[in-house]
Structure 1
């Protein structure tokens, strides 16, 4: 059973203490998912910010208001992963307060690679990704050329960082945070677990009411994030069932094991739908109606393609579907006879 915490959702610019020395605030987002939960960890030397929100003047003003109210110096910035809502203001915070950035290696270098300019790079591989999915050349090109808003939502990433590694720990105040890292939603997503208090800062890895996007993108079209994500759910179930989870979206909650099972069942249901649908060869685009009931376009179509491909790649890896490229350069997926 998922049980939300009894803490009131903090209004914009406010915060509440969800555990001793652990503060929760919310930041608005300019996306369909319109908010992110951010956390501040208190220590004698100052405050450690966990995730940052996207780069915007409004987000900066909220940080200045909240940090001013807490009236302690900032000691560090921790980014759970490289997505803009989590690291968008990491550079600004680190520069403004002259503090280090803490990230896992794959997330840090992924952010550097994605959000740094790369003039002259061959973008045809990006277009191929969308054509293979079943989009027209014109549709494919519109996605290739429309990265500006995404990139603009991230301040320049600091040129140095402190590495967070699985199996190690981070001492902040009176809490010893175990560093856990998982694949699936992002390459090396960091979660922080306080075993004494059964407290987990979960980021996007394990959300209470929505499934984090598990996607395959043009940078690594043969990736297996769903395989990694399903493994992470099994690993998270090794934590105590009464753990209080502090997620990046929705509300803090208990019911970690239940939520892991629900998410695993959700993805299995999508896999089962694809197997039934692909009895005859289907493109990725042709598979989307069995995965999503709503009309898809723009950014929503972009993420739906990525998540659909993650599921098809998983089926391909497990030998349940085959993949052939047709005369138009479109991949067609078909369920194996014993699938």
Structure 2
């Protein structure tokens, strides 16, 4: 007998202290038997290596997200990887989409260790989890539901007996899940993947208790899915309207985000703007042209 951890938090002293408090007061003398990670973002996988080593427990995660986390956190030769994934690569990517302010680009280039600072490493070995798999936790079966668009291969866990869904970041009660296009896959359609993934939750009972990674637990999953789809439909319509004349992703950002953004928020906003543009491009609503200034512009077909 023992405990299963789902998601780890960012690798910093504050998070470690929070875990140590839990271990000292909540485990009832039982060990941690495994660590399940829903996806590879730093607030979920960051402390996986520390937790797995502390308890000699295996990491359970999807293969795609494990390999992505390993790649981004890699230290040997990691300077080149980090420069592409978190710094220079992102700067080049966003510059091609109209983010040309030198001070902004310099700040982004300086973030080459952004991921590895929060995910200093992942365990050398892992146990792959796959869509539809049943995982036994506490005498109950939990079904793995894979979702896409937010992360490469995001695992949610549903227990029919308990009526509980551990949704990770795929279903959040108040904010919309970030869906971004990154430098490594610049023509991706993560928004299309995310919207189709939402349909995978529709067969679940609507009175399911959803345990999200951000925000409070909630019920009413299907109305929330409807809200999320409507939100993106509205944003897509606004994006289309803003492209009646050629527009860059940077010019779309204030259409989608009507507030001041710092550079951290701007990187997320740029990724989301490109995701909405790529969605419309894939469906023949927009055309795309690389202009003489080496910047991509999108226009209504």
Q: TM-score, normalised by structure 1?
A: 0.83
Quote how far apart the aligned CAs of 1:331 are.
Answer: 0.5
Partner SS, residue 245 of structure 1: strand
Q: Is the 8 A contact 1:127 1:137 kept in 2?
A: no
**Who is 1:119 aligned against?**
79
Q: Which of 257, 266, 278 is the matching residue for 2:243? A: 278
Quote how far apart the aligned CAs of 1:128 are.
Answer: 2.6
Aligned pairs for 1:27-66 (under 5 A) are 45-66=1-22
**Who is 2:200 aligned against?**
235
User: Following the alignment from structure 1 to structure 2, what is the Cα–Cα distance between the partners of residues 301 and 137?
Assistant: 12
Q: Is the 8 A contact 1:92 1:155 kept in 2?
A: no
**Who is 1:29 aligned against?**
none
User: Following the alignment from structure 2 to structure 1, what is the Cα–Cα distance between the partners of residues 111 and 79?
Assistant: 15
Q: Is the 8 A contact 1:80 1:191 kept in 2?
A: yes
Unpaired segments ≥5 residues, structure 1: 1-44
Quote how far apart the aligned CAs of 1:234 are.
Answer: 1.4
Q: Is the 8 A contact 2:2 2:31 kept in 1?
A: yes
Quote how far apart the aligned CAs of 1:150 are.
Answer: 3.4
User: Following the alignment from structure 2 to structure 1, what is the Cα–Cα distance between the partners of residues 255 and 181?
Assistant: 18
**Who is 1:25 aligned against?**
none
Q: TM-score, normalised by structure 2?
A: 0.93
Q: Is the 8 A contact 1:223 1:313 kept in 2?
A: yes
Q: Which of 98, 103, 120 is the matching residue for 1:155? A: 120
User: Following the alignment from structure 2 to structure 1, what is the Cα–Cα distance between the partners of residues 219 and 156?
Assistant: 16
Partner SS, residue 251 of structure 1: coil
Say yes or no: does 1:170 pair with 2:130: no
**Who is 1:133 aligned against?**
97
- Which digits, 9 at most, give the CA deviation of each residue in 1:121-149, with x for residues without a partner? 57465443121111227333431331324
Give RMSD over aligned pairs. Answer: 1.4
Indicate the larger mover: 116-125 or 202-211: 116-125
Q: Is the 8 A contact 1:100 1:161 kept in 2?
A: yes
Say yes or no: does 1:194 pair with 2:152: no
Q: Is the 8 A contact 1:81 1:190 kept in 2?
A: yes
Say yes or no: does 1:99 pair with 2:57: yes
Indicate the larger mover: 251-260 or 133-142: 133-142
User: Following the alignment from structure 1 to structure 2, what is the Cα–Cα distance between the partners of residues 265 and 81?
Assistant: 25
After TM superposition, the runs of 4+ consecutive aligned structure 1 residues lying more than 3 A away are: 119-127
Quote how far apart the aligned CAs of 1:216 are.
Answer: 0.6
Q: Is the 8 A contact 2:145 2:200 kept in 1?
A: no
Say yes or no: does 1:319 pair with 2:284: yes
Q: Is the 8 A contact 2:9 2:15 kept in 1?
A: yes
